[in-house]
Structure 1
Amino acid sequence: MSEGNGDSAPKKRGSNEAKAWAHERAEQFGLAVQFWRKKIELTAVELSNRTREIGYPITRATIAKIESNQRNSKMDFLEICVLAAALEVTPADLVFFGHPAREIKITPRSTVTSADATEWFYGGLLYNQFADIHNPRLTQSHNHRQTLANFNQAVDSFVERFKPGRFGNEWIVNADHEGAKDGIASPAIQALLSTYYDEIKRLRDEHIREGGYVELPGWVGAMRVAPF
């Protein structure tokens, strides 16, 4: 963000309920930024300098406006990420300030604890505010949570065993180097790796069929090996 940017104020939603909620969320965000800034004994100028070092400068004046909620209840996602990094906290520590017991309005009409809000935000908890009404809507992430867990487990298992990494422009895996030719795994190791890759691809496809999305790691298909 350029030095003069970030202070344009978008129009808030029309209802008083929406305006009140937007004001409350932005106010809590500002209080969180100020709290964590003071906790690590940074001035607004020093915090601004940190954001510049991160690569997305936020001016001292903008930080002051965030902390005092003087931007028409604006909350910018990119600023949240950069300020969290600069303050050495998680984005949820800024968005849902008051972990774990503070009550947070995650929508204008839904109040949960900040602990539940944080878990919902990162995907550890399903939250469906329509669950109690007639013909409730389905929570979209319900069906593919387990398929994502299966995919991640397979990826973690491969990483733990083969420790893939980049060598120049190529991916290599740590496997038995015996029988390798020109750095390419032996037929036996290739067959073993292919078994892992096929299973990871299968689990990824299963997750997509359930309505989720995940990209394959770049090392899937790598056959170049390095010795242990």
Structure 2
Amino acid sequence: MTQSRFDDGDEDDVPEWADRVMADVAREVRRRRKEMRWSAQDLADRCEAIGFPIPRNVIANMESGRRAVLPLVEVMVLAKALYTHPIHLIYPVGYVEEVQKLPLTYPVDSAKAMRWFADLDQTFAAGPANHSMLHHHLTHGEALAEALAAMKGEARQREVADQAADDSERAQALRAQADFAERGARAKYELRGVRRDIYAEGGFLPDLPTTLADVDPDEGYERDTV
């Protein structure tokens, strides 16, 4: 199969985009399998242990290019089985110099394509199809981790202060405890704000541990009616 033209020029005998993507994935699966000194059966056994069997002959046919399709769910399971992430199978940076991001486009550096795929450059952040919800949830995760760490640090310094051998050590522990308390308060403030934004935009609110139950207001958040 060939593509008859590019979006910015004509070119003959260009490998079909879907075939090239599948070939890159298959090549990387085989490379990682060989690197781990596994047989195709070993990899098949790993997939079955994960809960999604991919038979040995299917893996062999994929690696040899005899298979016509490669479902996304299999890419996900193969990545887990090979102790990597799906994006590293699709864009094997360092092992494939160039890839086609989309049909009818010229190949680009594989690292650049990976960044596009993962939106690491936030290409769409300000566009009409913006991904504010993704940003909100990432921010939520960071603020939650900061709040929990601050609470743990505050508790630890409180214990140090209670067991201090002298006034100087106790004062130092109390200052550290106050710093952790301030960090926790800032993190809770950020959590409250991002949870308000998530709810207002129609998203689901991630669960909070009981130790942070006071982050949500008693009356709840309001939906955005715009």
TM-score class, shorter: 0.5 to 0.7
Letter in 1 for 2:195: R
Out of 129, 138, 143, the position equivalent to 2:127 is 138
1:154 is matched with: 143
- Cα offset, 1:93, TM superposition: 1.7
2:197 is matched with: 206
- How many Å separate the matches in 1 of 2:205 and 2:115? 23
Unmatched tracts of structure 1, length 5 or more? 1-11, 129-136, 164-173, 178-192
Structure number with the higher helix fraction is 2
User: When the two structures are aligned, how many residues end up with a matched partner?
Assistant: 178
- Cα offset, 1:195, TM superposition: 8.5
- Cα offset, 1:151, TM superposition: 2.9
Out of 57, 64, 67, the position equivalent to 1:61 is 57
Out of 84, 90, 93, the position equivalent to 1:89 is 84
Alignment of structure 1 residues 34-45 onto 2, 5 Å: 34-45=30-41
Measured at CA, do residues 69 and 143 of structure 1 come closer, stay the same or move farther in structure 2, by a change above 3 Å? same
Deviations 1:113-147 (A, max 9, x none): 2212223333422346xxxxxxxx93623656655
With normalisation by structure 2, the TM-score equals 0.61
1:76 is matched with: 71
- How many Å separate the matches in 2 of 1:119 and 1:212? 28
- How many Å separate the matches in 2 of 1:58 and 1:147? 36
Unmatched tracts of structure 2, length 5 or more? 6-13, 160-183, 215-226
Measured at CA, do residues 16 and 221 of structure 1 come closer, stay the same or move farther in structure 2, by a change above 3 Å? farther
- Cα offset, 1:53, TM superposition: 1.3
- How many Å separate the matches in 2 of 1:104 and 1:203? 37
2:172 is matched with: none
Percent identity among equivalent residues? 23
Measured at CA, do residues 70 and 100 of structure 1 come closer, stay the same or move farther in structure 2, by a change above 3 Å? closer
Out of 195, 210, 217, the position equivalent to 2:207 is 217
Bigger-Rg structure (1/2)? 2
- How many Å separate the matches in 1 of 2:29 and 2:212? 44
With normalisation by structure 1, the TM-score equals 0.61
Deviations 1:141-162 (A, max 9, x none): 3656655554333222123224
Out of 16, 19, 35, the position equivalent to 1:23 is 19
Contact 1:197 1:221 in 2 (8 A): no
- How many Å separate the matches in 1 of 2:86 and 2:192? 31
Does 2:111 match 1:115? yes
- Cα offset, 1:46, TM superposition: 0.7
- How many Å separate the matches in 1 of 2:99 and 2:72? 18
- How many Å separate the matches in 1 of 2:136 and 2:19? 38
Greater RCO (Cα-Cα under 8 Å, separation 6 or more): 1
